Amino acid sequence: MNLIVTGGAGYIGSHAVQQLLKGGHRVVVLDNLFRGHRRPLELLGLGSSPALSFVEGSITDASVVEAAFSKGKVDAVLHFAALAYVGESVDQPLEYVNANITGLARVLEACGRHGVERFVFSSSCSTYGNPPEGMIPVPETCPQDPVSPYGRSKLVGEWIIRDFAAAQARAGKPFGFAFLRYFNVCGCDVSGLLGEDHTPESHLVPILMQVAMGQRSHIDLFGTDYPTPDGTCVRDYVHVEDLISAHILAIEKLRPGDARAYNVGIGRGYSVREIIEAARRVTGKPIPVKEGPRRAGDASMLFNDPRLVKSDLGWNPVHTDIEQVIRSAWNWFSRHPQGYKTA
């Protein structure tokens, strides 16, 4: 297949490119390198492999999007490009509208012009907000009521894609889409080639790795008074390679006109304290903690009911042990203390 991967130079997108190339697909990456890096693309064969090409620019720029889509026939689009920090979205909500909504519209316009029939959208469990009683683990039927601008931008994205697909269907151009609502994606490519390199970094696992490497003095624990067993937030941590395998299965199963939505999380919740303990065991480092107030926009407890993604797509996550997941991150971070800038 010929695929466009928006955000393919980012953490999750680059892991997708790796698996797609391994599967024999041809990939055009569209990325503005705002938070992504050229280095993972080079490591995956940019410049030497005819299966990988790259268009640098923003998804909000219609001419840039058109440049990526006009490189050849497009069988499917994986749309990863987005801003994705809950905390940042609270302070800069309009940036999230621009990237996650306007950018999505530009990409969908190009899908329309080029007759694309398969589209996988990076959505988020944060579209659920704080699920009501009886809805944890979270099924796809849970009401979506996001509590952050980021979550809202992803939910609006889902609505826009549904509306676009309906309009395409009326015009006799069936458009198939799958929303993959990610839980907490973490870990790195187990071969050690690709990693996670964000500036600024705000995610729990990479920050723990930076504390373990001595680059930060401590981790700030955001909130110890949540209504959870140990008072800290509970999340479902899914390994990036398992997340990507769900995308590949979705692309394979998706038919023009399909409307699908799957939660992608392993179905086990860990508290922030449990993740800190696991990181201490994996790294052998003390990892000092400073307990602090809640972070705006955080839901207290989110973990997945993975039955639908398993039964419909045949998804079978293989990295389900949290220490194994954190070890794959430590493997990369400890060898790349300066991220992709490490020589």
Of 54 and 85, the one with the shorter C-beta distance to ligand UDP is 85
Report the nearest approach of ligand UDP to the CB of residue 187 (Å).
12
Taking CB under 6 A as the criterion, which residues in 36-75 touch ligand UDP?
none
| Active-site amino acid positions | 150
Taking CB under 6 A as the criterion, which residues in 77-106 touch ligand UDP?
86
Cβ contact 184:208 at 8 Å: no
Report the nearest approach of ligand UDP to the CB of residue 272 (Å).
5
Distance of CA 114 to the CA centre of its chain: 25
Report the nearest approach of ligand UDP to the CB of residue 314 (Å).
26
Chain position carrying tokens 């994996």? 282
Report the nearest approach of ligand UDP to the CB of residue 10 (Å).
15
Of 149 and 176, the one with the shorter C-beta distance to ligand UDP is 149
Please give the Cα distance from 126 to 154 (Å, whole number): 8
Of 86 and 251, the one with the shorter C-beta distance to ligand UDP is 86
Nearest-CB residue to ligand UDP?
Answer: 233
Rama region for 210: left / alpha / beta (φ>0; ψ in -120 to 50; rest): alpha
Closest alpha carbon to 111 in 41, 156, 55, 59: 59
Cβ contact 174:256 at 8 Å: yes
> Rounded to whole angstroms, what are the CA distances from 12 to 157, 238, 299, 337?
18, 12, 22, 19
Q: Which of 49, 202, 316, 334 binds ligand UDP (CB under 6 A)?
A: 202
Of 221 and 238, the one with the shorter C-beta distance to ligand UDP is 221
Closest alpha carbon to 264 in 319, 304, 313: 304
- Site for ligand UDP contains 20 (CB under 6 A): no
Please give the Cα distance from 252 to 243 (Å, whole number): 15
Distance of CA 47 to the CA centre of its chain: 26
Taking CB under 6 A as the criterion, which residues in 234-293 touch ligand UDP?
235, 272
| Binding piece for ligand UDP, criterion CB under 6 A, among 130-138, 151-159, 166-174, 215-223 | 215-223
- Site for ligand UDP contains 138 (CB under 6 A): no
Report the nearest approach of ligand UDP to the CB of residue 207 (Å).
5
Chain position carrying tokens 């980012």? 10
Taking CB under 6 A as the criterion, which residues in 295-324 touch ligand UDP?
295, 298
The strand pair at 289-292 and 219-222 is best described as parallel
Q: Which of 204, 246, 261, 282 binds ligand UDP (CB under 6 A)?
A: 204
